Each structure stands twice: as structure tokens, then as C-alpha cells.
Amino acid sequence: MTSDVTSLIPHRPPFLFVDEIVSETPEGLVARRTWRAEEDFYAGHYPGAPITPGVLLCEAVFQTGALFLARRATGTELGKGVPLLAKISDVRFRSPIYPGDTVVIEVKRKEEMGGFNLMSGSMKKADGTRVLTVDFAVAWKMPAGSAPSAS
């Protein structure tokens, strides 16, 4: 199902941390990710006792937020930009993630203000154990130096 994900957001391996979209509503989206033992970052974080870096767990939530916004923007001018993270707040880590763990990621849009989408995100292990919560803001923008497409 990665093709559904890569058709919506610009992220690609090795910096793609969402495997599939599980479900969506008008208010949010649920995705899934399995953390694979062969991923390069485990070699250095930490050798002999690998644990998934918290910043990558957060990135998986942010990418899920981008997927939600991309699904809402399909066919609009907004869909021609890229998601840019504008703010991160109140991140709380509750349980570590190890190679082989599968997580469920949920994002909900709280409000839109001035082109910014204020969102909340959470991650749980497949067994329901809470992993993290975070509030964040995303904007869709054309990257600097990019010309709008002629289509």
C-alpha cells in the first residue's frame, strides 16, 4: 500500500515512515507503520540495543498529518505544494519502539488558521500501548525556487 502513500506526499525511502493508510474521516486519518530491523538508523541508535529515535516517531506522525491534508487537497491548487512543518508542541513519549514493532498513528485536525492546519497526533503500539502524543502545525507551500506547474 506504500504506493497510496507515495502518490500523496513527496517523502520517499529511506525517509518515509508510513506504510499504509488504515482509515480516514473528515476530521482525521489513521495510518500504520512497521519499524524494520534493517533500517540504517538502528546501527547507531543504539548498537546492541536498538531503539527507534523519538524524532523519527514524531516524523511518522507529521507524515500522517501530511497524508490527511493531501487527501483533502486532491484536485485543488493546494495539492501542488509540499507539506511544511511550522510548529511542534507538547510532545510526550510514553513507551519506546523497537525493531519489528508495528504502530498505529492517528492525526486529527483541530483547526485551520491563516493557511496553517493545527493538528494533534498520537501513536500506539498494535496492542494499544500508548507511544506518544504531539500537537503540531502544517502548511502547504511551494518550495522556494520552485515554479508553479503549468497544468
Instruction: Choose among 140, 145, 138, 139: nearest CA to 81.
Output: 140
The answer to whether 11 is a known catalytic residue is no
Cα–Cα distance, 22 to 31 (Å, whole number): 5
Given the residues 20, 22, 32, 45, the one annotated as active site: 45
Cα–Cα distance, 54 to 43 (Å, whole number): 15
Half-sphere exposure of 86 (CA within 13 A, CB side): 17
The residues carrying an active-site annotation are: 45
